[in-house]
Structures are given as structure tokens and as C-alpha cells.
Amino acid sequence: MIGIFRLAFKLLVNDRAKFVALIVGITFAMFLMVQLTSIFSGILNKASATIINVGAKVWVMDPAVNNPLNSIPLPDNILDAVRSINGVKYAVPLYSSAALVKLNSGVYQPVTVLGLDDTSLVGRPQLLEGKIEDIYGDNAFIVVKDSEYPKLENAKLGTTFELNDHRGVIVGIAQVTTSGLFGMPTLYTTYRRAIQYIPSMRFTTSYILVEPKSEKDVAYIEKQVAAMGYKGLTNAGFKEVVSDYYKYQTGVGTNILIMTITSFLVGLSICGQTFYTFVLENLEKFGALKAIGAKNYELVYMILFQAFFTGCTGYGLGVGLSALLINIAIRKVPGYAGQITFFNIGLAFIMLLVIVGFSSFIAVRKVIKVEPFDIFRG
């Protein structure tokens, strides 16, 4: 069988033009599929930035909430009710809202403001500069140093700004795991200062962050919260809700899906046609192999090897090129949303198998039907 595969490889690379066309076609298709799905994955990741960065075990929210930006304030008594649930170690409020700040240059900049519980500061970010205790100072805010940070004119410690006619001072510069999706810098402050500085409705608690006593208590807490008429979700569950929202309730998921299917069809047509042409041009060689005793299953193995070899080569080049481009874009393009996950490359590999299978099928049908008599007669 090794000799069959070696012969198949020589037949494949001997026609360099067809071989290169196959590699380029599959590489291009894989590049587009990985690129598009990685962008969508990056969008979903950035849309869940608040969830990821705060990292609460359980989030309590209004049932109508489907993404962190559309928080619906909870009545004040819900916090006490959640704290009274068996299995809750502690529960604290979180304030989340958009605001408009006026920078020293006179420029107005939209920001996301997160108000942390004054006592525990649950959900606080990791500081690069400054001390977390300084958040209790007058007018104190912590700024997140991410891709949106330059929009605040690269604020330093001690930089001042205005928020709803209130003075704000940067007392810390922090880093987070994920930056936001909509191009808005993030500021952290205390819960009381947030509701004091930003106009709010009657209720001010956006979310309640719950720490269970153990993982076994999570299901019970969620059940009790649901009995109150509200929704309790784990960190992963909240991210899934956000993911479903962008997949099915916005045009983002549909558009990405259409473009991914288009790239798949392009790869399928290019590779199928090129591989079929390759087999037609080498039909005499396959007929000669039959004449000297090659079995049909051996010729099938040859074609499958050729298709799989070109597919894997194009797959590796496509994924590598996409990873390189995404890495460069993340470094050079502020706010770029793109990340390669196992799901992205796994989906691309499954589509590759379909392309390889289709190409092999149309080629095998032609080779199986060829008869040595027809070849030598011609």
C-alpha cells in the first residue's frame, strides 16, 4: 500500500499547475471560513466583556435581560431576598450604565461605568497603576487600559474629567481580560458614587452578584430566584444568553453564516472542478494501472490519498494564514474582534472533509468506470 500512496503522490505533484490550483483553492476557502467564524467568535467574546471581567459565580437579573448593555434595574428588596436564600455565601449589587464624560480638551466621550459594591468591591479589575483603596477617595474612578483607552486621551493617574457636572479623578489604571464591543472605554467606581453621579430610575441595582457556598448550591439558588420572578444565571449561562441574542435576534449571526456558506461553496466548486479535471487528464495512467493488475479499491485509495493530502495541506495553510492575519490585526487595529477557538478550526475541518469527500466522489466514479481496453484502443 505504501507503493500505491507513493505513486499517487508523484501523480499529484507531477502536474504542478493543477496541484497548486487545488492547494490555493482549499487554502482560500479555509482562510475565509476560519476568518469569518473567528470574527463572529470575537464579537461574542467582546459582547460578554462585562460578564468575563467581573466573573461572578451567579448573576441575578430581570428576566427580560438578554445582554449586559440592556440591564433592567432590580427593586431594592430583591437584594435582601437573595441574601436570605440558603446556600448564598454573600450577594452584592452591581451598577452598570453608559455615561457621557467631558475630557479636559473639551471633547465628550461615551463610557461604560461599573459601580462596585462599596464594602467588598466584588468584580474589581487588576490594577496596573495605583491602589485599589484609592477608589474610596473623593471623585475617584479607575480606568481600564484596553483598546478603547486612547479615547480618554490616554488618561494618567490624577487626570480629571467631568461626568454630569461632577468632577472625576483617575486614581487607578487597570487591565481586564476582554475589552468591550461597542468602542466605549470602561470606568470603575463605587456603587454609591455611580448612582450619585449618573441619573437613574427609581431602582439602581443593575445586577446582583452572588457567591454560593458551594457549587452544589447554584442550582438551588437559581430555582429560588426564579420563584421570585427573576432570573439567576451562572457566568457561563449568562454568556450563552448573550451569544443566543447576537446569533438569533440580530443580523450579525445570519450575515456571518451566509458569508461562511458562500466561502464553503466557493471552495467546494473550485476544488471539485480542479480535482475532476486532474483525474480526466490522468485517466490514461489510471487505465494503465488497471491493465497491469491494479484493483479498483487500490485506485480508490490513491484518489482518497491525493484528495486528503491536498486538503490537509490547504487546511494547514489556510488556518495558519488566518491566525497570522488575526494576530497582526489585534496588535495593529484598535477594537478588532477576532479570536480562533477549537470550534472555529473544528468547523473548518468538518467542512474540509465535505469538500474532500465531494471531490473524491466525483473522481472515483470516473476512475472506477474506466476500462483498460478503452485506454489502449484510443
Per-residue pLDDT tens over the stretch 62-91: 999 988 878 889 998 999 999 999 999 999
- Position 42 scores a pLDDT of 86
Q: Is 245 in contact with 14 (CB distance < 8 Å)?
A: no
Q: Is 18 in contact with 276 (CB distance < 8 Å)?
A: no
220 has pLDDT over 80: yes
Q: Is 170 left (phi over 0), alpha (psi -120 to 50) or beta?
A: beta
Per-residue pLDDT tens over the stretch 147-173: 889 999 989 999 999 999 899 999 999
Following CA atoms 7, 9, 11, 12 in sequence, which dihedral angle do they give, to the nearest 10 degrees? 160
Cβ-proximal residues to 126 (8 Å cutoff; 6+ apart), any chain: 174, 175, 176
Domain layout of the chain by residue ranges: 2-46+251-377, 75-229
Which among 229, 231, 181 is positioned nearest to 65, based on CA atoms?
231
**Where do we find the cell 455615561?**
99
- Position 339 scores a pLDDT of 84
* Lowest mean pLDDT segment, chosen from 14-18, 200-204, 217-221, 223-227: 14-18
- Position 93 scores a pLDDT of 95
Q: Is 134 in contact with 98 (CB distance < 8 Å)?
A: no
Q: Is 18 in contact with 281 (CB distance < 8 Å)?
A: yes
373 has pLDDT over 70: no
378 has pLDDT over 60: no
Give the Cβ contact number of residue 250 at 10 Å: 13
372 has pLDDT over 70: no
* Lowest mean pLDDT segment, chosen from 182-191, 237-246, 286-295, 316-325: 286-295
Rounded Cα gap, residues 140 and 144, in angstroms? 14
Question: Rounded to the nearest 5°, which phi and psi values hold at 305?
Answer: -65, -45
Mean pLDDT of the chain: 86
- Position 14 scores a pLDDT of 80
Rounded Cα gap, residues 252 and 293, in angstroms? 56
Tell me the percentage of the chain whose pLDDT exceeds 70. 97
Handedness of CA 316, 317, 318, 319 (dihedral sign): positive
